[in-house]
């Protein structure tokens, strides 16, 4: 096994890919918004929203200041480390190390430092009901630890496909080819966080992409938004809904 692959697997075993669990970062109370894309700021489109602005089927991406989240963001070169689905009634569903679970938006906001919502423009009541039904079937199911372990070396190997000069069609072909080699055949009855989101949309008849859900990380979901460049071919760009919470990274002290 290549040395870099060994370390990637070791890192994955510690991070479990979708960073969720015990986090105690306090809410800073700030209203300043920024989220990777400079267009999303208070002067140009950024919005602070409450759970009341969410609609069933919305995709929620988040991150914390904990070591798991930081490690995942470094591995995927992203600002997010977790993905979940809004079901309505201030309830979300997510795949975490303990399995597929429901929890409240309030619980998610308590755990995460940054929480931002995106919406598929074609989502309707029928799709939302299908996502709800899929969630009901999966709650209590097991987490895809094997898929997470394989995601780590894949996240490194795929970067050759994402060089700036690689055309989008070739990028998609390359990523899926690398994924076929790195991920192999997998189970479809266990999910990690972003895989669960992709599978729910697929089962609802509103697939986000034709790519294997096991290829898609929370970072890839973020890049599916309007105005960004997706890593894999998508059917429809996601619309930015707003930030439910934003905590700017801590300032780094410099010596004088």
At 89-114, the pLDDT tens digits run 999 999 998 999 999 999 999 999 88
DSSP bridge pairs for 128: none
Whose CA is closest to 219, among 210, 228, 207, 206?
228
Query: According to the model, what pLDDT value does residue 46 have?
Result: 72
Length of the chain: 256
Whose CA is closest to 193, among 167, 168, 220?
220
Mean pLDDT across 34-56: 68
Q: Write down the mean pLDDT value for the chain.
A: 76
Residue 77: exposed, middle, or buried by beta-carbon count in 10 A (0-12, 13-18, 19+)?
A: exposed
Q: Which strand (E) or helix (H) includes residue 240?
A: strand 239-245
Residue 190 φ then ψ, to 5°: -135, 145
Q: How far apart, in whole angstroms, are the C-alpha atoms of residue 221 and residue 237?
A: 10
Whose CA is closest to 225, among 82, 116, 90, 76?
116
Query: According to the model, what pLDDT value does residue 14 have?
Result: 41
CATH class held by domain 3-20+34-245: alpha beta
Q: How far apart, in whole angstroms, are the C-alpha atoms of residue 152 and residue 147?
A: 9
Specify the 3-state DSSP secondary structure of 101: strand
Query: pLDDT tens-digit profile of 57-92?
Result: 999 999 877 666 655 655 656 678 899 999 999 999
Query: According to the model, what pLDDT value does residue 206 have?
Result: 97
Helices (H), the chain: 3-15, 67-76, 105-111, 125-138, 145-157, 168-183, 193-203, 218-222
Query: According to the model, what pLDDT value does residue 156 have?
Result: 59
pLDDT > 90: what percent of the chain? Answer: 41
Question: Quick check: 201 and 120 in contact, CB under 8 A?
Answer: yes
pLDDT range class, residue 130, cuts 50, 70, 90: very high
Specify the 3-state DSSP secondary structure of 53: helix
Query: pLDDT tens-digit profile of 190-244?
Result: 899 999 999 999 999 999 998 888 888 898 899 899 988 888 889 999 999 999 9
Query: According to the model, what pLDDT value does residue 227 have?
Result: 86
> Beta strands 91-96 and 82-88: pairing type?
antiparallel
> Beta strands 59-63 and 114-119: pairing type?
antiparallel
Query: According to the model, what pLDDT value does residue 211 have?
Result: 84
Torsion (CA) 145, 147, 152, 154 in degrees, nearest 10: 170
Q: How far apart, in whole angstroms, are the C-alpha atoms of residue 83 and residue 76?
A: 14
If one compares 42 and 170, the residue with the highest pLDDT of the two is: 170
pLDDT range class, residue 249, cuts 50, 70, 90: low
Q: Which of 33-37, 134-138, 161-165, 187-191 has the highest mean pLDDT?
A: 134-138
Question: Quick check: 154 and 215 in contact, CB under 8 A?
Answer: yes
pTM of the model: 0.75
pLDDT > 70: what percent of the chain? Answer: 58
């Amino acid at each position: 096994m290549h040395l870099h692959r060994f370390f990637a697997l070791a890192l994955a075993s510690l991070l479990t890919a979708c960073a969720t669990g015990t986090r105690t970062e306090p809410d800073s109370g700030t209203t300043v918004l920024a989220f990777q894309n400079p267009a999303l700021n208070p002067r140009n489109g950024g919005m602070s929203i409450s759970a009341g602005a969410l609609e069933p089927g919305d995709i929620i991406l988040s991150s914390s200041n904990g070591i798991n989240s930081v490690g995942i963001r470094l591995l995927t070169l992203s600002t997010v480390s977790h993905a979940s689905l809004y079901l309505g009634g201030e309830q979300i569903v997510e795949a975490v190390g303990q399995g597929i679970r429901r929890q409240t938006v309030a619980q998610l906001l308590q755990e995460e430092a940054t929480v931002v919502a995106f919406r598929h423009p074609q989502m309707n009541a029928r799709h939302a009901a299908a996502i709800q039904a899929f969630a009901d079937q999966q709650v209590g199911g097991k987490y895809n630890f094997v898929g997470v372990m394989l995601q780590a070396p894949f996240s490194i190997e795929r970067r050759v496909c994402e060089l700036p000069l690689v055309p989008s069609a070739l990028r998609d072909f390359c990523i899926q080819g690398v994924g076929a080699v790195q991920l192999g055949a997998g189970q479809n009855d266990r999910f990690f966080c972003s895989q669960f989101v992709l599978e729910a949309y697929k089962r609802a008849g509103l697939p986000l992409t034709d790519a294997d859900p096991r290829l898609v990380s929370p970072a890839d979901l973020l890049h599916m938004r309007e105005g960004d460049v997706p890593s894999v071919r998508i059917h429809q760009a996601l619309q930015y809904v707003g930030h439910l919470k934003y905590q700017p990274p801590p300032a780094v002290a410099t010596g004088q």
